[in-house]
Amino acid sequence: DPFIKKMGSGLILDNEGKKMSKSSANGVSPMDVIDKYGSDATRLHVHFLGGYEDNNPWTFDGIKGITSFLNKVWELKDIIVGEGISKEHTVEINTLIKKITEDLEELKLNTSIAALMSFIKKVREDGFITKEELRIFLILLNPLAPHITSEMYELIYSKNIIDESWPSYDNNSLES
């Protein structure tokens, strides 16, 4: 077998716990959600509902939180201070790189998003992010929200984010 392990995706369920499908006429049109909230918000919301292999009920409850998160990501460009990795964020950025790298390999997309949200919270509390920290953050978020990250990357760095390599972390700078 060419695969190391088998993973099956879970189902999106309606409010009665039934599988959403066209034949049951209980689905939510993805295009309606994308038209209202955008494709990045829609992707993040679906991933944030639960684990990849879990059956999760569809809800609009969290999509406003996802939209708020993406607005906070966009606003990061307004609080850039300095170039390298700051001593205030060294542990957080290295921990984030490790967490996102491992979570993406295991398709733990919901916990990846939660870690990205926690990092944003820390940065906003501190009132700044460096240019390098933002660069790393955008690369880590890119597989989950490719449109906003590509736009910001081009705007701030005048480069295409898909040409960048995945960041690595320093084991000596991780939280214990």
- Residue 30: pLDDT band by 50, 70, 90 thresholds? confident
Question: 21 Cβ partners below 8 Å, 6+ apart?
Answer: 27
What single letter denotes the amino acid at residue 130? T
pLDDT of 9 strictly over 90: no
Classify residue 83 by its DSSP letter. S
pLDDT, tens digit, 9 for 90 and up, residues 144-162: 999 999 999 999 999 999 9
Q: Note the pLDDT of residue 3.
A: 66
- Of all residues in the chain, the percent with pLDDT exceeding 90 is 62
64 vs 8: which has the higher pLDDT: 64
Question: pTM here?
Answer: 0.88
Q: Give the distance from CA 51 to its chain's centroid.
A: 14
